[in-house]
């Protein structure tokens, strides 16, 4: 018997992230989709008509005939909470309205990520930050709140930095991220722009990648999260890869270390704080360090452990920055819908959902 039986809505259900939510929730043991919300244009239509399904596996039968609503809280009465895959152009207003109406919002949108009282959450990195929820005052009745997951690069970057932060004093980070086309949504990147090519910039990405990890790695105080003091310099580029972001990360640490084994030990000794919670979507090894000198590779390792693992390879001591490595994570699973679902599982376990 499963621990929970919660009914959920999906906001932005016809978009790329919304579709990923629907697919990942298809056989979820705790959460059952009971409402789908999208724009006016889709409202009133069966989901199979409203959505241009782009997921590789077939549309679940359970949602095909489901009639899509607009994204207003009244239409979602009865759900225990909603996942939001809304575009940032509308997420601010709609998510706020849902929280105000008493419906918890587990959001993948960027709008509320840097709000003081909103947890920017990666369960393996900063599960304690969920205490911020109590600071929120969207809903006078205290039921509605917002929890966000970070950008698809910030997730593996914070997963890499957390064990290093636990073991050392991180002074700075230099990052070049090689990002898959699926990160741009659909239709997203034109094939004429990216086939056999690299686009050396992703609009608006670099600031997010510099800001979000230091909140994730920050220390929870009584009133807010005190950001970690780690300058992160990011260059984000688009590569002709379908799924899986590859990060070339260099880290300066305060300590003098002379053996790469000390770095490997930091990863090995790291204790996964949610290891014992048995969350359905949690990977057994959220961090996996490989000694294959030609790994990780996005086409080959992105789907390991259901796309929820961060794989780390090529760990080296280097001359300019102290540590260099390559990290890989699935950008639309771990870095988006899958990450949000894991957040909801943690919140359910901790008693924040289904009250």
321 binds a second copy (CB under 8 A): yes
Tokens found for residue 348: 């359910």
261 binds a second copy (CB under 8 A): no
326 binds a second copy (CB under 8 A): yes
229 binds a second copy (CB under 8 A): no
d(CA 238, CA 184): 9
233 binds a second copy (CB under 8 A): yes
Q: How many chain residues are in contact with a second copy, going by CB under 8 A? A: 58
Pick between residue 130 and residue 184 the one whose CB is nearest to a second copy: 184
- 256, 258, 319, 355: residue in contact with a second copy (rule CB under 8 A): 319
CA triplet 214, 216, 218: central angle to 5 degrees?
A: 65
List, as one string, the DSSP characters of 264-314.
HHHHHH---TTGGG--TT--S-SEEE---TT---HHHHTTGGGGTPEEEEE
- 9, 150, 307, 313: residue in contact with a second copy (rule CB under 8 A): 313
97 binds a second copy (CB under 8 A): no
List, as one string, the DSSP characters of 40-102.
TTTTTSBHHHH----SSSPPPHHHHTPBPEES-GGGGTT-SEEEE---HHHHHHHHHHHHHTT
Burial class (CB in 10 A: 0-12, 13-18, 19+), 221: exposed
195 binds a second copy (CB under 8 A): yes
58 binds a second copy (CB under 8 A): yes
- 111, 250, 281, 343: residue in contact with a second copy (rule CB under 8 A): 250
Choose the binding region for a second copy from 62-70, 79-87, 243-251, 264-272 (rule: CB under 8 A).
Answer: 243-251
Q: Which residues, at least 6 apart from 345, have a Cβ–Cβ distance to it below 8 Å?
A: 30, 123, 279, 280, 281, 282
152 as an active site residue: the answer is: yes
75 binds a second copy (CB under 8 A): no
- The nearest distance, CB 291 to a second copy, in angstroms, is 12
| Closest to 276 (Cα-Cα) out of 346, 217, 197 | 346
- 276, 294, 351, 355: residue in contact with a second copy (rule CB under 8 A): 294
314 binds a second copy (CB under 8 A): yes
Q: Is 158 helix (H, G, I), strand (E, B) or coil?
A: helix
What is the contact surface with a second copy in residues (CB under 8 A)? 54, 56-58, 172-174, 176, 178, 181-182, 186-201, 231-233, 235, 237, 239-242, 246, 248, 250, 252, 293-300, 303-304, 313-314, 318-321, 324, 326
Q: Which residues are catalytic?
A: 152, 245
């Amino acid at each position: 018997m499963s621990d929970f039986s919660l009914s959920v809505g999906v906001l932005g259900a016809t978009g790329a992230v919304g579709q990923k939510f629907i697919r990942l929730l298809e056989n979820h043991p705790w959460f059952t989709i009971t409402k789908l919300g999208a724009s006016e244009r889709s409202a009133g239509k069966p989901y199979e008509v409203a959505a241009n399904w782009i997921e590789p596996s077939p549309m679940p039968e359970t949602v095909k005939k489901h009639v899509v609503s607009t994204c207003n809280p009244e239409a979602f009465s009865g759900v225990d909470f909603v996942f939001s895959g809304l575009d940032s152009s509308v997420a601010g207003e709609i998510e706020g309205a849902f929280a105000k109406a008493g419906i918890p919002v587990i959001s993948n949108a960027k709008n509320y990520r840097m709000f003081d009282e909103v947890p920017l959450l990666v369960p393996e990195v900063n599960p304690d930050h969920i205490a911020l929820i109590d600071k929120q005052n969207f809903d006078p009745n205290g039921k509605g709140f917002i929890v966000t997951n970070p950008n698809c690069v910030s997730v593996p970057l914070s997963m890499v930095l957390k064990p290093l932060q636990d073991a050392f004093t991180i002074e700075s980070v230099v990052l070049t991220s090689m990002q898959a086309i699926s990160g741009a949504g659909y239709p997203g990147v034109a094939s004429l722009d990216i086939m056999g090519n690299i686009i050396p910039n992703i609009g608006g990405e670099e600031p997010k990648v510099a800001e979000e990890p230091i909140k994730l790695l920050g220390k929870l105080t009584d009133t807010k999260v005190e950001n970690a003091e780690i300058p992160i310099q990011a260059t984000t580029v688009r590569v002709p890869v379908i799924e899986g972001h590859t990060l070339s990360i260099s880290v300066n640490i305060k300590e003098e270390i002379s053996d790469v084994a000390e770095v490997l030990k930091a990863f090995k000794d790291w204790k996964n704080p949610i290891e014992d919670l048995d969350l359905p979507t949690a990977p057994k090894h959220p961090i996996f360090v490989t000694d294959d000198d030609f790994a990780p590779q996005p086409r080959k390792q992105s789907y390991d452990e259901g796309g929820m693992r961060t794989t780390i390879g090529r760990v080296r001591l280097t001359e300019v920055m102290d540590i260099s490595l390559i990290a890989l994570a699935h950008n639309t699973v771990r870095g988006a819908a899958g990450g949000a679902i894991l957040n909801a599982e943690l919140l359910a376990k901790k008693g924040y959902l289904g009250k």
